[in-house]
Amino acid sequence: MISDALAGKKIAVTGTTGFLGTAIVERILRCVPDCTLVLLVRPGRRGADQRVRREILKNDCFDRLRDHLGADEFDAMATERVIAIGGDVGTDGLGLDDDGRAILAGCDIVIHSAATVSFDSEYDHAVEVNLLGPLRIAETLHDLDVCPHFVGVSTCYVAGNRKGAAAEELLTDTPFHVEVDWEVEVAAARRRRTDVEDASRTPHQLGEFAKEARSTLGAAGVAALAARSEQLRERWVSKQMTEAGRARASSLGFPDAYAFTKAMGERALIERRGDIPVSIVRPSIIESAWSEPFPGWIRGFRMAEPILINYGKGLLSQFPGSPEGIVDVIPVDIVVSAIVAVAAKGPAAKPEVFQAASGTANPFRYSDLVDLAAGWFAEHPIYDEKDQPISPPAWKYRDPGAVPNELARAKRVLDRTAKALDMLPLRGRQAQLSGELEERRDLVDRALEYVELYGSYTACEAVYQTDRLAALDAWLDPADREVFCLDPGVIDWRTYVQDIHLPSVMKIGRVKTAPTGKGGESRSARLRRSVLSPDRELAAFDLENTLIASNVVASYGWLATRRLDYPARVRLVARTLTQAPKMLALDRADRTDFLRSFYRRFDGAPVDQIDEDALEMFSDLILTKSFPAAIRRVRDHKALGHRTVLITGALDFVVEPLNPLFDDIIAPTLMTGADGRTYNGRMTDVPPTGETRAQALRDYADLHGIDLKNSVAYADSTSDLPMLDAVGFPVAVNPETKLASLARRRGWLVEIFAKSPGGPRKLMPIGTRKITPRKTA
């Protein structure tokens, strides 16, 4: 019946790069052989046709059909039956060119599945796509003077947070919570975007973003801080718009902006449809396939997946909801069957609603989901980084307000702890504690986000009626029922959760479900192997706390005290120590300003004396403070044929003895006085720190024809972030607190290099040469 009804039809489908849309395309191509599909997709950079070929038809959803036909025959079939047109339901007129309009005008059926399906959609974005999207399609069809059958995909949750039966009726035919003018909502959402954008640019708010950027990145340089500030501003705007949508939806009795804008979209479509025949399909929560195209097929994570995975990882043990509540889940293949069957049956005289849900025919209790998930994870545990199985925690059913309050308290404690740690001069392994704390904060934030996004759905007590879906199933002949299953009653929830859904989710999520084993590589080992690949071209190194456990202050102290008697040495060191807090604050604010200020202390220093003493300092201080593993790493890179360069803010005469270790050294140089015999404490150029260091690296790479995306950089501080970001393989060495957090979050290799045990440990950076008094005449 379905194949006969759709034979020779030209069917337009929107939203085909998404989960549901991809499944619709696959089922029609495989099971309805004599029709043509017109896919409306945003062109992007590739163009509409290439997006269809690469992003849709290459999906594993089509493997069953591809295997049946063979690769060449599949491509030939797709070329013959699939037409791609560039367009966007978020744009007036759908953004169609003349050819696209002509193709759309020839369609017999339009299946509209495009939507902003994210539960945390920004208010105006949800309005533009979910509310105005179907209206724009109808208006375009009016302009083309055609009236194809419009099959709109909505959601059961347009019923709002009601309790009890939710009928398959148009919203205009049911008592609505509050009568709302959708046109006013559109104007309000757009106005809200303008207001929020303006608010994000006030001096006070911009100052807050800048302050937070510096708190996160430290003295990372102007470019990095500016980029971070703008990123924070954009995130703030997004959050404000999301909260605006959530608040507006909640005030009208909807779980979120998605459900609210979908409800408004239905009302707008029915109001403005004119002579266009309309059918509406409302699925509940769409999850992985029961059987078609194969059990467990899913594209991207839906609502339940993050919650289930984090439960399996032992990170989530409570969520709002009652154990007897219904989790209305419907496999994607049943939804697709409903949509195709509705299209084949054709429109009724009056718009009809079909709800594809399981709660009436085959209710799935919240407690069933928890029990089945707990049982599965007990037999198939997720493994942690140490190859230990994680036992799923005992699940707690909590009242809606208890969970977010508890998580918010935990977040406040972690925030205070992180702030305290950030003030301590931690480095290396101790600083990694900050990264671990940051990870815990992220987990709490994520759990809180899940509660905010999905908590209202688990608390929903509506029961979605499916009488029309059952009648549609009865309309099908037995052959169609084999191919287009519409009956949620066929689902065995134990089989679905434990044998189909969870195994598929673990695979797609690349969750570690087996121990790596003693012979397996750790993550650090894999990253290290990648860093030391023969394919790399360049390895750039910082000096302080990367190659040696020393700094410019220690080097100055050694040189400045080298020829002083003991009392003078003590006075100089004591004076330097009293200035330490001021120097530390300047260094944290701007490394370049700190170096300029500090190197003024070399004013009047004899050039010859400094050169002589610097050589002795190298063996007495630099080598004793060096990290043997770091020196070996430089040699490893050279042995692999990589070019090596040291880029440091230390003065050239300090690092000159390191020349044999590197191909090149980039370091600041001091100017000399008019006689050329003494330094005047001023640098010849801007020192290579922060973004200047990154620019020096880029210039060096350009000079030698090196691809930085195939290069490595080693550094210890967020002030080096521009250089680390410039390469394809950044390595954080003995990182300070902020960099440790960033490296952990970004998945960078972290190396902990240490000095050799048993080396000299001088309490003061002073020399040991006997002072020879000058002879006087």
Identify which has the larger pLDDT, 319 or 17: 17
Q: Which fold has domain 1-180+252-284+328-359+465-486?
A: Rossmann fold (3.40.50)
How do residues 344-390 score in pLDDT, each as one tens digit? 999 998 999 999 999 999 999 888 988 998 899 889 888 877 778 88
- What is the per-residue pLDDT for 394? 80
Q: What is the dihedral of CA 579, 582, 588, 590, to 10 degrees?
A: -100
Confidence of residue 85 (pLDDT cuts 50, 70, 90): very high
Alpha-carbon gap, residue 449 to 451, rounded angstroms: 5
Give me 209's structure tokens: 């973003």
Query: Rounded mean pLDDT of the chain?
Result: 87
- What is the per-residue pLDDT for 472? 94
Are the beta carbons of 279 and 351 closer than 8 angstroms?
A: yes
Are the beta carbons of 706 and 727 closer than 8 angstroms?
A: no
- What is the per-residue pLDDT for 763? 45
How do residues 111-149 score in pLDDT, each as one tens digit? 999 988 776 789 999 999 999 999 999 999 999 999 999
Query: Residue 459 pLDDT > 70, yes or no?
Result: no
Q: Which CATH class is domain 527-751?
A: alpha beta
- pLDDT (average), residues 711-734: 94
Strand pairing partners for 461? 163
Sequence-distant (6+) residues with CB within 8 A of 410 are 444
Alpha-carbon gap, residue 609 to 188, rounded angstroms: 74
- What is the per-residue pLDDT for 387? 78
Cis peptide bond prior to 606, omega within 30° of 0: no
Query: Residue 426 pLDDT > 70, yes or no?
Result: no
How do residues 31-59 score in pLDDT, each as one tens digit? 999 999 999 999 988 889 999 999 899 99
Confidence of residue 497 (pLDDT cuts 50, 70, 90): very high
- pLDDT (average), residues 625-629: 92
Confidence of residue 430 (pLDDT cuts 50, 70, 90): low
Confidence of residue 428 (pLDDT cuts 50, 70, 90): low
- What is the per-residue pLDDT for 128? 95
Query: Residue 454 pLDDT > 70, yes or no?
Result: no
Amino acid in position 529: R
Identify which has the larger pLDDT, 413 or 499: 499
Alpha-carbon gap, residue 100 to 49, rounded angstroms: 12
- pLDDT (average), residues 603-624: 89
Angle at 440 between CA 439 and CA 442, to 5 degrees: 65
Query: Residue 487 pLDDT > 80, yes or no?
Result: yes
Query: Residue 310 pLDDT > 80, yes or no?
Result: no
Confidence of residue 765 (pLDDT cuts 50, 70, 90): very low
Q: What is the dihedral of CA 641, 642, 648, 650, to 10 degrees?
A: -10
- What is the per-residue pLDDT for 771? 36
Q: What is the DSSP letter of 128?
A: I
Q: Which residue has the tokens 């779980």?
A: 255
Q: Is 316 exposed, middle or buried (0-12, 13-18, 19+ CB in 10 A)?
A: buried
Q: Which of 374, 331, 484 is nearest to 2 (CA)?
A: 484
Query: Residue 770 pLDDT > 60, yes or no?
Result: no
Identify which has the larger pLDDT, 206 or 559: 206
- What is the per-residue pLDDT for 776? 36
- pLDDT (average), residues 709-728: 93
Range scoring the smallest mean pLDDT among 71-75, 137-141, 161-165: 161-165
Query: Residue 458 pLDDT > 80, yes or no?
Result: no
Q: Distances from the Cα of 128 to the Cαs of 116, 132, 243, 421, 502, in angstroms?
A: 9, 5, 17, 44, 34
- pLDDT (average), residues 236-243: 95
Are the beta carbons of 669 and 652 closer than 8 angstroms?
A: yes
- pLDDT (average), residues 574-593: 79
Are the beta carbons of 335 and 283 closer than 8 angstroms?
A: yes
- What is the per-residue pLDDT for 744? 84
Q: Distances from the Cα of 182 to the Cαs of 121, 141, 143, 237, 652, in angstroms?
A: 18, 21, 22, 23, 69
Question: Which of 225-234, 426-435, 510-519 shows the highest mean pLDDT?
Answer: 225-234
> What count of other Cβ atoms lies within 10 Å of the Cβ of residue 384?
13
Confidence of residue 772 (pLDDT cuts 50, 70, 90): very low
- pLDDT (average), residues 218-227: 84
Q: Distances from the Cα of 607 to the Cαs of 658, 690, 767, in angstroms?
A: 19, 28, 18
Query: Residue 176 pLDDT > 60, yes or no?
Result: no
- pLDDT (average), residues 629-657: 95
- What is the per-residue pLDDT for 769? 44
Identify which has the larger pLDDT, 309 or 70: 70
- What is the per-residue pLDDT for 767? 45
Q: Is the pTM of this model over 0.75?
A: yes
The alpha carbons of the chain give a radius of gyration, in whole angstroms, of: 33
Sequence-distant (6+) residues with CB within 8 A of 165 are 462, 463, 465
- What is the per-residue pLDDT for 263? 94
